[in-house]
Structure 1
Amino acid sequence: MRILLADDHDLVRETLAAFLLAEGFDEVRTVATLQAAIDALHAHGPFDLVLLDYTMPGMNGFEGLARAKSVAGSTPVALISGTTQRELAEAALQAGAAGFVPKTLASRAMIAAVNLMAAGDVFAPISLLMQETEIAEALQTLTRRETDVLRGICEGKSNKEIARDLDLQEVTVKLHVKTLSRKLGAKNRTHAAMIARDAGLS
């Protein structure tokens, strides 16, 4: 998988790139400005995902996103940001971003988010798009067993491992995963884990 990462903060850019490479991504090309990202798309594309820092030189809010999207074609373009404002995240998604990724996102969640967006899905931390009370209410609808399964997912365990830990059949765990995902509005088990972690359940 090839990633184009544009961020004007050297430390953030290089740290994130090194982390993604260490997690097995094939290539992470790094640049420091929007124009450099545009040039890289022309010269070295296509990429599987483009990550743009929302506040770097040349972005001008969502104008930079629109420019990058026009050059990237079918490649998803997402925003990364040091600020985590709900209004900003919603506006980014409405402007066509493949995701809105806070730089404070935990490492495992960051990898899951990158994979999700590269696969064509849209990502934003559920805590930015739902009020805290909504998240709490959704979690309260889970049964005790569903909560146990969700904790196992958050720990990175497979359905088979969760089944063994809880003394359940694997097919039963799969059913719990499906049910809890529906209750939380999660697309899959990874998304459910993100919701849980954002809400402090881990």
Structure 2
Amino acid sequence: MKVRLLIADDHDLVRDAIAALLRAGGCDEVAVAGTLPEALAAVQAAVQAGGGYDLVLLDYDMPGMDGLEGLAQMKRAFPAQAVAIISGVARPAAAREALEAGAIGFVPKAMPARSIIGAVTLMASGSVFAPFDFLKQEEPPVQGGLTARETEVLRGICAGRTNKEIAREMDLQEVTVKLHVRTLTRKIGARNRTHAAMIARENGWF
């Protein structure tokens, strides 16, 4: 079966690695994009050329996505296009919301290579892919009396993001993120960002 894919992810190395994996797994054509606007333009061009993609993979955290709003934009613009979310940081709740919002599937980047190929092939054929082991995970509440925004900043720190990257994803000023970092580290008794991430991981907050 000929399979045409579009992978949209702003991390070049990750995007190219996934693209190479899928090409090696038998996908005939794998196009790439780095932002949601680029992905929308690529789908538009494919539709105008008389085709389209069998599947579009959108990274949950790339520029322009704004959580699942990017999925909604893609579905509004191209209702017939099969769209899946791929992510290395999204929580099980976000995956469930993506499926409820019309995504044909959710693919954790931590899945084994063979499983990713199988999931993409399944979705490209029109079937929904739901990683049940991931979706049924319980999400323990964050401790330390953090606000919702401080919790998201801490989540970004645990994912290895810089203050600038966190600010971009949360649509905040970098100085605001720095203030949140200072406050949350004090609340949980951390010496610095690295120690805050260690405390979060040790307590299983994310």
Q: State the TM bucket, normalised to the shorter chain.
A: 0.5 to 0.7
- Taking the aligned partners of 1:103 and 1:115, their CA distance within structure 2 comes to 16
Report the residue type matching 2:14 in the other structure. V
Q: 1:49 aligns with which of 52, 55, 58?
A: 55
- Taking the aligned partners of 1:131 and 1:79, their CA distance within structure 2 comes to 18
Task: Please report the TM-score for the alignment, with normalisation by the length of structure 2.
Answer: 0.61
- Taking the aligned partners of 2:127 and 2:56, their CA distance within structure 1 comes to 14
Q: 1:97 aligns with which of 97, 100, 103?
A: 103
Q: Which residue of 2 aligns with 1:9?
A: 11
What secondary structure sits across from 1:83 in the alignment? coil
Q: Considering fraction of residues, name the structure with more helix.
A: 1
What secondary structure sits across from 1:3 in the alignment? strand
Q: Which residue of 1 aligns with 2:68?
A: 62
Gaps of 5+ in 2: 139-206
Report the residue type matching 1:123 in the other structure. F
Structure 1 residues 84 and 64: alpha-carbon distance in aligned structure 2, compared to 1, 3 A threshold? closer
Alignment root-mean-square deviation, CA = 1.4
- Displacement, 1:131? 5.1
Identity, % of aligned positions: 54
Q: 1:39 aligns with which of 20, 35, 41?
A: 41
Aligned 8 A contact 1:101 1:125 in 2: yes
- Displacement, 1:129? 2.6
Q: How many residues align?
A: 132
Q: Which residue of 1 aligns with 2:125?
A: 119
- Taking the aligned partners of 2:128 and 2:9, their CA distance within structure 1 comes to 21
What secondary structure sits across from 2:129 in the alignment? coil
